[in-house]
Every structure is written in C-alpha cells, then in structure tokens.
Structure 1
Amino acid sequence: MPAISLSPRLRKALIAVAVALLHVLAVLFLARAFAPGILPEIVEDTLSAVAFEVPAEQPTPPPVEATPVPDEGASGEQGARATPREVTAPEPKVRREAPPAPRASSTGTATRSGGAETGSGTGAGGSGAGTGNGRGGDGRGGYFVTKPVKIAGDITSARDYPRETRDLRNGQSVAIDIRVGVDGMPTGCRVVRPSPDPQADRITCDLAMQRFRFKPAMDPDGNPVVSTFRWYQRWFE
C-alpha cells in the first residue's frame, strides 16, 4: 500500500486534534471516576467549547519555466547585406616629355656634329686618336689620376751605341713613347721625335724595353691602367 504524504501544515493540525482528544478523554475519565452525575454536562460543554479548524490544502504553484541560456559558441544572426560604395579612380597624371636637346654646333662640312663612337677628332667619343679626353684615346688626357713613374733602369753608357755613328748623334736627342702595362712592364715603344741617327733611335727603344720598370698609372678608383711614358735620350760624347 503506498504511503500517504501530508503537508507540514496538515500534519500539525492532526497532531493538535489528537492532543485535544486525549485531553477530552482524560477529562471524561476523571469525571466518570469522581462525579458520574455531571458527565453528560461536561461532555456537552467540552464539545461545544472545542472548535477544530482544518486548513485547506494550498494549491500547488505552477512550475516555473527555465529561461533558455544562449549558446556562446553559436553563430549570431545574419546581418544586413552591405552595399559597396562606388569608388572613382583618379585621372592619371600626364608625364611631360622633356624637349629634345638642340644640335651641337659644328664647323665641319658634314651634316652631323661628329659624336660617333670612333673618329679622328678630339677624342671625346668612345675611342679616338685625339688628345685622350675619352676613355679609349691614345693621348694623355684627364682619365688618369696618377701618371706612370719610372722606378728602375737607365741608359747612360756610350758603349750601348755604335762608335761609327758617334759624331752623328753627339749633342742630339731622341724622344720615345713607352707603353706601360698594368703590371709596370713596358709593352711597346715608338719614336715620336727622331734624332739624326736612326740606328741609335732603335737601340734606345730596345734598351728601354729591356731595362725600364714602372709604377703603373691609376684610375679614379685606384686601379692600375695601361698608360704611356715619354722618355728623352740625349748624347754627349
């Protein structure tokens, strides 16, 4: 048989009724024992004096619905669709071309001013036979920072030349140009101002190639470059 569950308030009321009944029974028992004649009056008075109030059952409150807790990892609602703003590209700036340089003046008879790669002018082109202002000229222009310096060798003995032509060259001189390599060694020789003795001129070039040693010329970056050294040989016998 299933147990009957009572509310706390109903349980307290039933206990109070039971206690009151016990008191009534005790009074009746004492009255019957000591005064049997007054028992009916006591019962009537006691029952009229005791009033029982049974509390009504309180209605069970409806269950409270739990508020749903949002999922923190769930995705949010879809937002409004964005509309891109129209962007206008700026107009490109027009680059102005520099006006062409005027033609250089010339005193020649040709229709061009002579700025070709090679030529026989002043040597300002890629290479030439002029004064050597260009990188490849044969002259002694401003391309070198330092000139070649002779550091060894000389021609001082009269025995280096033939005796039979001594009178022909006595008191004369010859000028030779010696080509100096990047290692300071002579690589070529030519007579630029001859003496009356052609044989002595050739001997002078041969002796310079054999005996002379140089410190090579240097370019602006400090690198040795090929250059030309001029030597004057005089005879006094």
Structure 2
Amino acid sequence: MSAGSDLSAPPRVRLGVALLVAGLHSLAILGLIRAFAPDLAGRAIDAVVSTFAVEAPRSPEPRPPEPSPPPKSSAPTPAGQAAPAGRRAVPRATVTPPPRITLAPPVAAPPVAATGTADTSGARDQGAGTGAGGEGSGTGRGTAGTGQGGGSAAVKIAGEINSARDYPIATRDLRIGDRVIVAITVGTDGRPSACRVVRPSRDAQADAITCRLALARFRFRPATDGAGTPVVSVFGWQQRWFYRGGE
C-alpha cells in the first residue's frame, strides 16, 4: 500500500489507526515500566486513587439534651396573720353592800326560876341529877336539892394498864398509834362495876381487854354530892398504844 493511498483513506480510518498505534506505544511503555520498576504502576494507581478519594461525611454528633427547665415553684401559701388585738376587758367596779346585821329580840328572863327535870339531866345513870337545883324562888343554889351541887367527881387512885404483855402480839401493829376511850361506872365504894367502849380503836380485841383490865385493876375515890355523900358516877378513861423509846 502506498503513501498516497494512506493519505487518501477516509478520516475515520485514519483516527482508528492512530488510536491503535497510540495503544501499542502505551503497552510497550507499560511493559518497560513493569520490567524496570515493577512497583511504579502500583504507586501511580494509589496516587490516582488517593487523589480521587472522597471522605464520607460523618454523621453529626448528637446534640446533648437540653436541660429540662426547672419546675415552676408554686407561690408559697401566705401564712395566716395574727388577728388584731382584742379590746381590753376592764372589770366593772363592784361595791360590797354593808352587811345586814339582824339583832335578835331580847329574851325577857322570868321573875322566878322554873322547875322541871333540868336538875336531873346529864350524862349520868338513872337517879339523882348533877344540876344544882333547890327550893325557893331565887336563882341561887338551894340547900335542899337532889343534885350533887358542889360535890366532887370520882378520882382514880390505884391500878394501871401500862404493860405490852397485857395485849396480844399478833394484833400489835394494828393498834400501835391508835387509842380507845371507855366509860367506867364507879360505885359508891370506889370499885368499877361496868365498862363500855365509847370510842373504839382498830383492834376490837384490845378494846375488850382494856375494859376487862380496868374493872379488875382500877380503884377510885367515889364521887360525892354537895353534902359529901358518895354517889355513883361515870369515869372516862383513854388507853393509847405506842412504841416506847429503844424498843
């Protein structure tokens, strides 16, 4: 094929031939490069790849949660206020009325003293009274009355109850600090004839023993009337129980 015929070929054929020649030259150059520098092609490829490397976009970091707003504090309930001071109480002035004094009407005394049973009344056995009765119309002491008049009372002259052995030990704590009062009937001979409890203690057994011992041990000078004659009378006796010092 002549040169003239090549130049007369159509442009499309000429372009294909040129591309073929260029490809052959590229292959020859690539073969030489691989023969003398086998890693050059890899570096070139890596350079081209790194040149066109595209970094993937990072996902945005999550934003920290916004702090929740503090709860709205409710307005404090207003404290109750003290009530206004009350009116001062002023006591009403009072006046104590003067005490009313009622005078009892005077009792007119009779011109003559009356007679009756007053001369024989009192704490005595049945018999002559202890009053100062008399005969006549005067108010003074008579001379022929049946009462004791200016006589004397009975007096104990002998006998004592002062030993703890006279009473039972079992009831000692019951009667200690207590007392009994008895009434003793004294005859005209000065001997007691009867005894009764007037004011009992907590120990009834001790009360009975007191009466029994009084009848057995006591002796009296009998009571007398205004004329000095012995009469029957009642004598009161109080018995107390207590611890002696040192017991």
Q: Tell which structure's C-alpha radius of gyration is larger.
A: 2
* TM-score where L is the length of structure 2: 0.42
* TM-score where L is the length of structure 1: 0.44
